[in-house]
Each structure stands twice: as C-alpha cells, then as structure tokens.
Chain A
Amino acid sequence: MLRTLKTLCLLNGISGNEDEVREYIKARALKYTDDVRTDRMGNLIVVKHAAGNGCATAGQKCCPAPELNSERCGNKLPKLMIAAHMDEVGFMVTRVTEKGYLGFAPVGGIDPRVAFNRRVCVGEKKLNGVTGLKAVHQTPAELRTEIPKWPSMYIDIGAKDRAEAEALVQIGDSIAFHSDFVRFGKADGFVKAKAIDDHYGCAVMLKLIEKDLPMDVTFVFTVQEEVGTRGATAAAYSVAPDMALILEGTTSADLAGVEGHKKVTCLGDGPVLGFMDAGTIYDRGLFEALRDLATENKLPWQIKGRIAGGTDAAAVQKSRAGVRVASIAAPVRSIHCPNSVAKISDMKAGLKLAELFIDAVASGRIK
C-alpha cells in the first residue's frame, strides 16, 4: 500500500481537476475489473465483482448487474459502496501582475500560515513556482507576527513580465503544492507527504480492488470533496448503495502541549472510526460493528475527541431515501498542508479493518 500511496501523493488532483489521479487509478483498476466508468462529474466508479461465479460465502447469489439495486435482482446482500476522494486542497491562479507574478486563491481549506515560501506546480505545463514573502531583513520583528491575506500573496515563476507569464499561465489554472514522500521516525514508521488526505483512502481502495472479494463492491473515487462533498453527492445517487464505507484522512492535533480531547486523534492509536463529525452522525450499528471487528481482531481503533470536520459520508447518507454510512480514517498531522504526517501502523490497520468490514457484510454478520 505504501508504494501506491507514494505514487498517488506525488500526483496532483486539485478539486475540480482530478484527471491525473483518476487516470492513474483507472489504469490500475482496469487490471482487475472491466467494470470501470467515469461519470459526468469525473467520479471514477469501479465495480469489483465477487471472486468466482458468485458470493464466496453463504451460498448467496450476487447481483449480476451492478447497476441494478440489489433488491431487484434478489440478492439479499446490501449493495455496498466504498468511497474515498481523489481531490486535494491547493490553489488557483486568480490574476497576473504587471511584473509577471501570479495572484492566487485557495481551493479548499488551507491555513494561510503554511503558504509562504512553498514550491508549487502551476497549471498543465507544470511550471515550477514559489510562493513569495519578502525577506526577514525587510520585516521588523514586530511585524513578523502578521499573516498576509490571500489577495496580497503571490507566486514567482521567474517570468520577466506580464506578457511572458500570460503566455504560459491562464487565470483559473490549478496550483498544487510540491512535496516529496518520505518515511521517517522510529523504524521509519511515519510518512510525510502532501495529499495523504485522501490519497490514503484511494490507496486502500486500490489494494481492495486487487484482492479477491467475497461480494460485489462498488468503489467510488470521488471528486470535489474539499469544496463541499460534491462528487459524492452525484455518485451516491447513481450508485444507489444500501450501505457505504468512507475511507479518509482525518485531523490529528496530538502535538506537544495539547491536552486530552484537544488532540482530536492520535497517531499510533489506530484507525479512527466515525461516530459523529460536523457533517454526519454515522450509522450507530455500523460504527459498533466496526468497533467490535477491530476489537475482536486485536486492531487498535480510536474515535475523534472533537466533533469537527466532515467527509463524503455527509453527502452519501442523505442520498435518495438514505444510506447507512460508516467511516474509517487515518489520523493525519498537518492535514491540508504540504507536509502532512501519518503513521504507517494506523494506515495498515485501516486497510485490514476495511477488509474485515467487507467480509462481515458478505457473511451477513453486518446486515
């Protein structure tokens, strides 16, 4: 999974411009199933059919036509959708200055305090750029506490003037952070990269697609989560699942000096099981099932110490006549930053738990 995660994190998929990520995932998924489509919003919908000719368990028939609802074809198994988002936070070019600098605005939630002196990748031509801030020598100590507002920030691509910049860059071009993928910490047990939220979820789904599954599962790689769970809204409608599992990266603030629940989640304490966040009160039965599966299988798990953030579950849950939703997330420090940090043990346990969840649905344990 780590190799896949590395590849995915190095690709750019700013909300609304996820093509690069989708093309990679699509090519990988097509090796394991023919049932792959991209919808009009850009969501990638991959159906992985049960191994063999039908369900591997309980002699149950699997849905022969995945586009049909499970009930109609007589399958007693719920239609299961697993989703993760392909998009990541980034920026967009908003203007070009007389001297050839680019003005920009955030796409998704970015803390302006991490936006200075960053290497960025601009537009389809993938121009190198760097976000500017005048030198420390020009800033008296008392002003080094001020964080400039987005409209006054700029990107330097080395252009000599407006004409040169405009020949290479268009208003609206996507801008991604440039950040490498590095393992570090005790026993190299941590990784730092951009876009762990939610290329982690995408990596888990690719690993699941590569496995023999006991039931049909519809994997949805969604777009535009970071600007309001928009892709998931459309995908949930067209997939029409009975049940959905959302795979995510979630906030961790387990830093020095942060007390108790303010840490939100802790790296090393295992995958985070969604029970409630700012967007969703997760299905209680599914939450409890995940919790029990983790406990029985000696996998660590935790819940968020703060009711905050949101996932595609918010959109999926309210789709059509309602969908039962659950989530498994890896805790991530510096989420939405170029140097997000996650712990490998949490991510691996999340993958294992997702597998156990599919097995439990397929066996009828989770109804």
Chain B
Amino acid sequence: MDIKKYIKLLCEAAGPTGFERPVARLAAEAIAPFADEVSIDTLANVVAVKRCGIPDAHKLLLAAHLDEVGLVVTGHEDGFLCVGQIGGLDPRVLPDRDLLVLTDPPRLGVVCVQPPHVLKAEDMSKAIKQEDLRVDVGLTQEQAVREVPIGTPVVYRTEGFDLLNGRYVSKTLDDRASFAALIRVAELIKDKKLPWDVYFIGSSGEERSEGGAPAAAYETDADVCIAIDVGQAAVPDSTPDVIADLGKGPLLKVGPNFTRHVEKRLTALAENEQIPLQRVATPGRSGTDAWFMHIVKGGVASAIVEFPLRYMHSPTECLDFGDVELTARLLAAYALDPGKEALEC
C-alpha cells in the first residue's frame, strides 16, 4: 500500500474541529475497500468495521481523529478578518501565514504582519498576540462582511513535501496520518482470521477534547480502545522531557490512562515482530481520545500507540513514514492476537 497517497489525500483536506464532515466522507471512502461496513455517525465520526464472524464477538476499537486545529472568523475590520483559535496553536506561527478560508468556494487568506519600520525595535522581539492578528482576503469591509461571514472556519494550506530519509512534512499529520495508518492496519488484517470485530474510527472533535471518540466507544460497545495519535519528537529547542526520536519506532504511552494487560501485550508483540518501541511516561491526562474512551459505559480497556512527530500543530508537522508503517504493523499484530485477557474482559 502506498500510505503516502492516503496521508496526502487526508492531510491536505480541510476539516477543523466542528467542521470535519467533508474529511469524514473522504476518510470513509478511503477505508471502505478494506472494511465490511462503513458509516458516519451523528457527531461526524467515521465508523468502519471488519467483522470476525463470531457471534457476540468482543470488539476492538482503533481510533484516530480526523479534525485539525484551525481558526474561525470572529469579526471584520477595514476588510480584514479577525480570528479566534480552534484548538491549541502557537500564535507565533501565524504572521504572514497563507491560510485557506473555508467559504464556498474556499479562498486564500494571508495573515497580516506590520513591516518593521512602523514598529518599535522592542516590538520585533515580541510575538504578535493572537487577538491582534488580522487576515487579508483582498476585500473591502463591505465585501468581507458579506462574503466571509462570522463563523467561517480557516485552516493552514500546506501542501505536503518530502525531506530526506522518508521524512515528510504536511499540515494535519496530527492526526490524519494516523487514520492512514488505520487503513494500512485494515489492509494487513483484511484476509486474516480475526478473534474479534475490529472497528476503525475516524473521530471528530479531538482538538477541543472529549469529542466524538467517546460517543463512538459508547455506540460500538467496545471492549478495548486504542487511540492512535502523534507524540512529541525531540527537536533542537525541545524541553528535556521530550526524549522520543523520529525514525525510531512507535511510542507506547505508559500511565493511569492505559490498561496494563494491553500495554504488556503490545510490548510483547513488538518484541516478537522486532518493532522498536519508545516508551513515554504519561503520569496524568494523556491529551488524546483514550482519556475519554477509557471511562465510557462501565469502563473500557485502553491504550495509546503513537508515532513521533516534530512541530506538532504547526503548518509544517514532520513524520517518518517508517514509524507510521511500524505503528500499523504493531496494531495489526494486536488486532490478530490480543491475548486471553483482552478477549475475556
């Protein structure tokens, strides 16, 4: 499978939190050839399932979120757009950024930046505050109010590109590259005998927390949930707690959000399959769909498998295709052979 094709397709689409439905349709179409049933639910989650054929089978749920961080139009000033944030992004990446304003049809916007000579010297060393950022759409005030109404979502418009060594830069690798990994998992298990039904969820709303994933866990009545997400990879200016490296395999998070037997099984399978694992201590809130899926209904066994990512939530996130493939292989191994505890819980 050309996983890059799926990553490019999904990541370059526009779907900030709350506006995921067009991306959900793309994702549903992409995974359909590998699944028995595919649907899109009330909250815009994609729900695809591969049945095992066993009556009253246990259920594994693999969830990757399809929403992305972005901006939303909150007002107009002299024809420029005022914007608020959807999800957490660093306002420092915005000045002079080219954006896609999601009118119909979508249009280009460029975040304004005042030239240095109209600023005081000290202004240059300080970031522009998010509330002071304006977006240029080449309209007068009257045109802007009419053509780009308040509430219009806005996203980055990066086209993906390759770096050396199978590394790839795009917007929204968090977390649509993980959904591409799920398509790869679906391919890997397609003709295999499964011990349980496997659900592939493209969840909505993750960047604003407690989004669509818990609803999907509820409606599918899952026994084990694994969130597939992205984890911080070290870069020259990262904080010392970030130890994971790009290109060194999937990350396995360890902490209260994760069920011991799933963690142990994943670790054992990784060893069998010779997949390197990078363990990441997560003492509290995991910041992923797993945090919420864990406590759905009477509780769900849960885990997170991630691949490392540089420059998360920026227009230029960076992954290593090798890590994505290893992540997919580890999840496929677990789906095929989850161990006794998972099937008895």
- Chain A residues within CB distance 8 Å of chain B: 97, 99, 101, 109, 111-114, 116-119, 127-139, 144-148, 152, 154, 156-160, 164, 168, 179, 182, 184-186, 189-190, 192, 251-253, 255-258, 262, 264, 306, 308-309, 333-339, 341, 343
Contact = CB atoms under 8 A, between A and B. Distances in A.
Nearest to B167: A158
Nearest to B82: A256
The 9 A-B pairs of least Cβ separation, nearest first, read A185-B138, A158-B163, A158-B164, A158-B167, A184-B108, A256-B77, A136-B90, A190-B138, A135-B312
A133 B106 CA distance: 28
Contact of A144 (B78, B110, B127): B127
B265 interface: no
A343 B110 CA distance: 14
A154 B142 CA distance: 42
B237 to A, nearest CB: 5
Contacts of A256: 77-80, 82, 112, 134
B312 A136 contact: yes
Nearest to A159: B164
Contacts of B136: 255, 333, 341
Contact of B115 (A160, A251, A343): A251
A148 B237 contact: yes
B95 A113 contact: yes
Nearest to B141: A256
A117 B93 contact: yes
A264 B287 CA distance: 46
Contacts of B80: 255-256
B311 A334 contact: no
Interface in B310-337: 310-316, 318
B220 interface: no
Nearest to B247: A160
Nearest to B116: A111
B242 interface: yes
Given A128-B169, A184-B108, A251 B117 contact: yes
Given A97-B236, A186-B143, A264 B312 contact: no
Interface stretch (B26-34, B55-63, B118-126, B272-280): B118-126
Nearest to B79: A256
- Considering residues B116, B166, B312, which has the most beta carbons from chain A within 10 angstroms of its beta carbon? B116
Given A182-B98, A256-B82, A341-B138, 12 more contacts: A119-B158, A127-B164, A128-B169, A134-B235, A134-B311, A136-B312, A137-B232, A138-B239, A158-B164, A160-B164, A184-B138, A257-B77
Given A112-B124, A138-B239, A156 B310 contact: yes
Given A133-B314, A156-B235, A157-B163, A186 B139 contact: yes
A133 B109 CA distance: 23
B90 A139 contact: yes
B96 interface: yes
Given A253-B118, A333-B112, A132 B236 contact: yes
Interface residues of B, number: 65
B107 interface: yes
A114 B95 contact: yes
Contacts of A135: 90, 232, 238, 310-314
B218 interface: no
Contacts of A185: 137-139
B215 to A, nearest CB: 25
A16 to B, nearest CB: 22
A165 to B, nearest CB: 9
24 contacts: A101-B236, A111-B113, A113-B113, A116-B314, A127-B164, A130-B163, A133-B237, A134-B235, A136-B314, A137-B312, A138-B242, A156-B235, A156-B318, A157-B163, A158-B162, A158-B165, A186-B140, A192-B98, A253-B115, A255-B78, A255-B136, A256-B78, A333-B136, A334-B96
Contact of B316 (A130, A192, A252, A253): A130
B89 interface: yes
Given A119-B316, A157-B163, A339 B110 contact: yes
B128 interface: yes
B88 interface: yes
A166 to B, nearest CB: 13
Contacts of B117: 251, 264, 306, 308-309
B97 A136 contact: no
A119 B93 CA distance: 12
Given A109-B116, A132-B237, A186-B138, A337 B96 contact: yes
A255 B112 contact: yes
Given A147-B92, A156-B318, A184-B107, A262 B239 contact: no
A237 to B, nearest CB: 29
A131 B163 CA distance: 12
Nearest to A165: B164
B114 interface: yes
A342 B112 CA distance: 13
- Considering residues B107, B114, B137, B163, which has the most beta carbons from chain A within 10 angstroms of its beta carbon? B114
Contact of B237 (A130, A152, A158, A179): A152
- Considering residues A152, A185, A337, which has the most beta carbons from chain B within 10 angstroms of its beta carbon? A185
B316 to A, nearest CB: 4
Contacts of A146: 125-127
B138 A257 contact: no
Contacts of B151: none
B53 interface: no
Interface string B133-158: 01011111001000000000000001
B22 interface: no
Contacts of A101: 235-236
Contact of B118 (A137, A164, A258, A341): A258
